Amino acid sequence: MPAVELQPPIVLAADWRDILALTKPRVMSLVVFTALCGLLAAPVMPPLVIGFTAILCIALGAGACGALNQWYEADIDAKMRRTAKRPLPDGRMDRQTALHFGVGLGAFSVLLMGVAANWLAAALLAVSILFYIIVYTMWLKPRTAQNIVIGGAAGAFPPLIGWVAATGHVASLPLLLFAIIFLWTPPHFWALSLFIRSDYANAGIPMLPVIAGPTSTRRQIVLFSLPMAAAAVAPWPLGLTGAIYGLSALAFSLAFVALTIPVLTNRATEPAGMAPEKRLFGFSVLYLFALFGVLVVDRWLV
């Protein structure tokens, strides 16, 4: 009987929408917004073209992270309903293309940031990209349930980079902005992972709800929301912002913490419909947009 020659899987031609999907534009929008707020909150404003270029570089760096994440996790994405239709698992693009695109985009963003703004901002951008890909995606995510706690630092860099692009140095306020996002990431992401827990379990990813269960995860959401709220309000008593930001941050943070209480008391194994976890996840995105938006308003009016 003649041997059957195995054919490589067919890869359909990708179009511009697949290239865009590699960059995770929804995630990028929050990255760009917080970076822009960090730049606008700085005490000095760079020339318009330099400021625009700096934000563009941060967006390109975020896009590189998205592409390299999808390159590395293509097999995992294929096992999850939420990600199975991405360009790589759906067969619309090959992994080598995603790898080359991500590496090229990341290198270009760092070099352009150094030339257009300053090399400290470029170094922070490079660290954020490498941290996300190597430390979070390759090392932490497949190995520990605390992946998002440590890995959350990758998403906390943008406002710090925006500030440094404008000023050339690090200061207390951007470090607090870093801390806010760092502490916000676990409750935000755990709320999401609670209602897609089965997806992570099927893919073999040790997210906290998979390893520790829903009850422990809900408790951790509340515990992380408290220092997050404290960090969000802290710039006001420290004299780094005015009352517009301080009172708004207090109100937003109290609302965030209040939404964690129904999450804590929820006993459903598989959240459905408008479960408390989904409400918290939706509000957490609005929370960060509102918090950083009012920070810029406060800095410009005070």
Q: Does residue 213 sit in helix, strand or coil?
A: coil
Q: What is the rounded distance in angstroms from the CA atom of residue 246 to the CA atom of residue 295?
A: 9
Q: What is the rounded distance in angstroms from the CA atom of residue 99 to the CA atom of residue 191?
A: 30
Question: pLDDT digits over 84-98, tens only?
Answer: 999 999 888 999 999
Q: What does the domain layout of the chain look like in residue ranges?
A: 13-130, 171-302
Q: With a cut of 70, which residues of the chain have pLDDT below it?
A: 1-14, 269-274
Question: pLDDT digits over 156-190, tens only?
Answer: 999 999 999 999 999 999 999 999 999 999 999 99
Residue 206's φ and ψ, nearest 5 degrees, are -80, 60
Which sign, positive or negative, has the C-alpha torsion 198, 85, 109, 96?
positive
Q: Does residue 242 sit in helix, strand or coil?
A: coil
Q: Indicate the pTM of the whole model.
A: 0.91
160: which 2 tokens?
Answer: 């710090």
